């Protein structure tokens, strides 16, 4: 029984899968941490552009 347990502890057959899962989760987490602030800043900038465009006078009457 002890030899089977020691063999199990030394086995590395599933270690690569666990490593890839952890690395993938870390990459996704870092991506979200970076994109959330950029997304809010971009949204505020787009709203500022929309207000500026909305206030523009266009057409022939705008040049008078």
For the record, the structure tokens of 11 come out as: 């086995």
Distance CA 62, CA 41 (A): 32
Question: Which tokens sit at 28?
Answer: 């996704």
The DSSP symbol for 59 reads S
Using a cut of 0.85, tell me whether the model's pTM lies above it.
no
**pLDDT for 59:** 73
Query: Nearest 5°: CA angle at 14, between 11 and 20?
Result: 135
pLDDT of residue 36: 85
Structure tokens at 52: 């500026």
pLDDT of 18 reads 81
> Along the chain (64 residues), what's the average pLDDT of each consecutive run of 10 residues?
84 77 95 86 86 84 60
């Amino acid at each position: 029984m002890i030899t089977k347990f020691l063999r199990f502890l030394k086995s590395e057959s599933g270690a690569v899968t666990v490593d890839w899962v952890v690395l993938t989760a870390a990459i996704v987490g870092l991506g979200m941490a970076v994109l959330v602030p950029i997304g809010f800043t971009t949204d505020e900038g787009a709203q500022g552009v929309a207000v500026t465009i909305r206030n523009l006078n266009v057409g022939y009457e705008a040049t008078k």
